[in-house]
Amino acid sequence: MIALSRLDHVVFRVSDIAAAIAFWRDVLGAALEREQAAIGLWQMRAGEALIDLVSVDGELGSRGGAAPGRQGRNVDHVCLRVDPWDEAAIRSHLERHAVPVLEAGIRYGSEGDGPSLYIPDPDGNVIELKGPALPGTRA
């Protein structure tokens, strides 16, 4: 049996690498850790995990076909745990960066039911920001 322990990395194909890096760095606080421009790969550090950004017109990204858009996406969404969770401060920060909240509510995650906000990245990929489980809802 395989013993899965955590998310290692997610790869997003993106149309505008500069906008994607700015979103992950400036809005969500990820740091650019590694750049391999020759193959079209930029890796952002997000806690213990990496968010890999590949340009749709680069060596790696072009393997995936058309760019994500209104007619199709790379994935449904990726959920990132936020700690500490201060929804008012998070919403204020998103507003300052002109990032809309698409949906908000209590959702079930790996720790149980807890607050979450759904936001779009520059390519329309949906990112769920997840708070801690509410007492008594732990999985």
CATH of the domain at 34: 3.10.180.10
Is 63 a domain residue?
A: yes
Q: How many domains does the chain have?
A: 1
d(CA 32, CA 115): 28
Is 2 a domain residue?
A: no
d(CA 32, CA 53): 10
pLDDT of residue 100: 97
Domain extent at residue 116? 9-130
Q: To the nearest whole percent, how much of the chain has pLDDT over 90?
A: 49
SS3 126: strand
Reported as a single tens digit per residue, the pLDDT across 44-84 is 999 889 999 988 887 777 777 777 666 666 676 889 999 89
